[in-house]
Amino acid sequence: MQALYQLLLEVAAAGEGVVQAGAKPIFVGGDHTQAAGAWRGVGRALGIAPGLIWIDAHLDAHVPATSPSGNPHGMPLAALLGYGDPALTGIPGPALDPHRVAVVGGRSFEAAEAQFLADLGVRVLGTADIDSHGLHAVFTEARRIAEGDGHGFGISFDIDALDPREAPAVSTPAPAGLPAEALREALRGCLREPRCVGLEVVEYCPGRDPQGRTARLVIDLVEAAAAPDGAELRRWEDEYGARNYAPLPVVLQSGSGCWLKDVDGRRYLDLMAAYSAASFGHSHPRLVAALGAQAGRLAVTSRAFSNDRLPLLLRRLTELTGHDRALPINTGLEAVETALKAARKWAHKVKGVPDGQAEIIACTGNFHGRSIAITGLSSEPQYRDGFGPFPTGTRSVPYGDAAALEAAITPHTAAFLVEPIQGEAGIIVPPAGYLAACAEICRRHRVLFIADEVQTGLGRTGRLLACQHEGVRPDGIILGKALGGGMLPVSAFLADNEVMQVFSPGDHGSTFGGNALAAAVALEALDILEEEDLVNRTAELGDHLLASLQTIARESPLVREVRGRGLFAGIELNPQVDAHQLALALLERGVLTRETHGTVLRLAPPLVISREELDWGLERIAETLAARGRPPPQAA
């Protein structure tokens, strides 16, 4: 016991020093006995014993006379209250006030311990309380007790309070236990609060944690306890990050299906799906499993070597689209660049355009990415401002005007690059027959028709590809976003042999493009698309979405037009209405979406959204529009 006493003196001194330095100690150890030193040291520094939330499967409130084993392992809480062996109680510092101690999660203890604490007035909030009221309510009550009359409180957490199936690396596991996610939420940000003076995590047994599973969980819990709130995180992002984005004032922390949760615990319905990247929802169990399983086997080797996943993805993509070959890349922008390189080299090597003179035609209002070359195709002044000079050999024609395309084609034209529906421009659906007419013009002039389906592809519009609404088979297809399942950046350019054969080894590549991890996730995403029948489901839900939006438009004077296809829709507002302010108002009502061009709210929910969830979101949109009232009258 003398060695234990000396150890506890050291722990107490360490805790006291941290508090005196103006910081908050985090104690991490193997046995809860260390608490007998930790909180005495904190109390010395504060000049008063802190209140204490004791989270433990066991009460640890034996004294020598009641302990079945005589092991000090079962005595630290009693010692902190001033009872027990002098080796534990003799650490200099104030004893805890039993009326400011709350035990949470106790489920394996002797009757003598429970009676001892009850006699002292210590509140035990056990599994029955948690089952009845939930951990969040129980933890809130424990905090109320520990804070008492406004003094500081600490948290002493024994890992065996958790379900041993989640945290097996403990010496005295007890069946059942607290769910880790619920405890993480209860602890979130507590160390950032002025009244919380420290945190202790004990009972970790490294020898029982060969995979590091419990260690990772402990780190998660400590990070949650130290996590800043949303306002502080936004301030850090603004202070330390480049200001090339202006996110809405919400900091998201977790997601499941169509729902997201912020760091402050609020839930939101996602009607953006990360611009279609999260088409399968957030944390889809199959995608999470595929990601984890493949990450544990092989992730990245570069294309200097083949891996066993990529060939499966290449074959699947070509069978799905009917094109001969696929070239895997990472982001949508990279896939667009790949398509441009393929088109120009095809024009030179196959069509006979002199080297360096191949031209690409795009449409005004396009958004294909933000690289220098792609920005050169843009008609948006902000995207171009200050970034020139841009590569030559590009020109633009009005979107939706097939005659303008034909007039712009020259003998040097290599390709026409087009979005089947323009997303960033405001969900602009072209006139019926436009894509088919453009495809016919391109065939007649021997120009490649390349469809950028990064946002619209893989079911978003109620067809596998948006071009299929007009029966168009492009010469080249660009896929991205949804192909990565919302887990990884995965993209691809697909074309037939005549185009793809222009590439030789070394012409084009990417270290990460086609890596095994990305291929495995993309394969699972394509399986989900097919097996959950998401394309047909999106067509049906899309009809419902657009019909509902038309009803909202008829009832709201704020709405100028509704347009879209499938689960890809835009609400164009009257010019006097600030779409950004409307997005902020929807955020307050628990709906996530964003505006584009200041006048359009874009809607692109995950394809897995239920009709009930979609209707809930539509009701919030209708309410928000109604609350905004009528726009001011337009000037004559």
Token code pair at residue 276: 């279609």
Token code pair at residue 630: 């009528």
Given a cut of 70, whether residue 609 has pLDDT beyond it is yes
Angle between helices 579-588 and 611-628 (to 10 degrees): 120
Given a cut of 60, whether residue 44 has pLDDT beyond it is yes
What pLDDT digit, counting tens, does each position of 388-399 carry? Answer: 899 899 999 999
Query: Torsions phi, psi of 178, nearest 5?
Result: -80, 140
pLDDT of residue 329: 97
Query: Torsions phi, psi of 289, nearest 5?
Result: -65, -45
> Any idea what DSSP says for residue 422?
B
Please give the Cα distance from 240 to 384 (Å, whole number): 25
Please give the Cα distance from 101 to 79 (Å, whole number): 13
Query: Torsions phi, psi of 34, nearest 5?
Result: -60, -20
Fill in the amino acid letter for 175. Answer: P
Q: What percent of the chain stands above pLDDT 70?
A: 98
What pLDDT digit, counting tens, does each position of 584-607 carry? Answer: 999 999 999 999 988 999 999 999
Query: Torsions phi, psi of 214, nearest 5?
Result: -70, -35
What pLDDT digit, counting tens, does each position of 367-388 carry? Answer: 999 898 899 888 888 889 998 8
Closest CA to 526 of 382, 259, 384, 318: 318
493 as an active site residue: the answer is no
Please give the Cα distance from 95 to 566 (Å, whole number): 66
Residues whose CB falls within 8 Å of the CB of residue 108, separated by 6 or more in sequence, listed in order: 57, 58, 172, 174
pLDDT of residue 483: 98
Find the mean pLDDT for residues 467-479.
98
Given a cut of 80, whether residue 633 has pLDDT beyond it is no
How far CA 255 is from CA of 270, 285, 474, in Å, comes to 9, 12, 36
List, edge to edge, every strand of the sheet that includes 123-125.
26-28, 196-202, 153-158, 51-55, 101-104, 123-125
pLDDT bin (cut points 50, 70, 90) of residue 245 is very high
Please give the Cα distance from 619 to 635 (Å, whole number): 31
Find the mean pLDDT for residues 551-566.
96
261 as an active site residue: the answer is no
pLDDT of residue 635: 46
Strand partners, 104: 55, 125
Please give the Cα distance from 37 to 80 (Å, whole number): 8
Find the mean pLDDT for residues 442-451.
98
Closest CA to 576 of 598, 555, 550: 598
pLDDT of residue 630: 56
Closest CA to 438 of 430, 428, 422, 449: 449
Catalytic residue from among 27, 270, 481, 493: 481
Residues whose CB falls within 8 Å of the CB of residue 164, separated by 6 or more in sequence, listed in order: 170, 173, 174, 175, 177
DSSP string, 252-264: EEEEEBTEEEETT
Label residue 125 exposed, middle or buried (CB < 10 Å: 0-12, 13-18, 19+): buried
Q: Which of the residue ranges 71-80, 171-180, 230-239 has the most confident prediction, judged by mean pLDDT?
A: 230-239
24 as an active site residue: the answer is no
Instruction: Output the 3-class SS for 84-110.
Output: CCHHHHCCCCCCCCHHHEEEECCCCCC
pLDDT of residue 522: 98
pLDDT of residue 634: 54
Token code pair at residue 336: 């667009």
Angle between helices 2-20 and 35-46 (to 10 degrees): 40
Omega before 389 within 30 of 0, i.e. cis: yes
pTM of the model: 0.86
What pLDDT digit, counting tens, does each position of 65-112 carry? Answer: 888 777 766 789 999 999 998 889 999 999 999 999 999 999 989 899
pLDDT of residue 602: 97
What's the mean per-residue pLDDT of the chain? 94
Find the mean pLDDT for residues 225-231.
92
Catalytic residue from among 27, 109, 367, 416: 367
Find the mean pLDDT for residues 309-326.
98
Token code pair at residue 286: 């199959």
pLDDT of residue 60: 87
> Any idea what DSSP says for residue 15?
H
Please give the Cα distance from 345 to 296 (Å, whole number): 39
Do 332 and 366 form a contact (C-beta atoms < 8 A)? no
pLDDT bin (cut points 50, 70, 90) of residue 636 is very low
How far CA 306 is from CA of 295, 301, 310, 317, 489, in Å, comes to 16, 8, 8, 17, 19
Please give the Cα distance from 456 to 421 (Å, whole number): 7
Residue, of 473 and 384, whose pLDDT is higher: 473
What pLDDT digit, counting tens, does each position of 184-212 carry? Answer: 989 999 999 999 999 999 999 999 999 89
Catalytic residue from among 452, 475, 493, 512: 452
Beta-carbon count within 10 A of 206 CB: 11
Residue, of 628 and 430, whose pLDDT is higher: 430
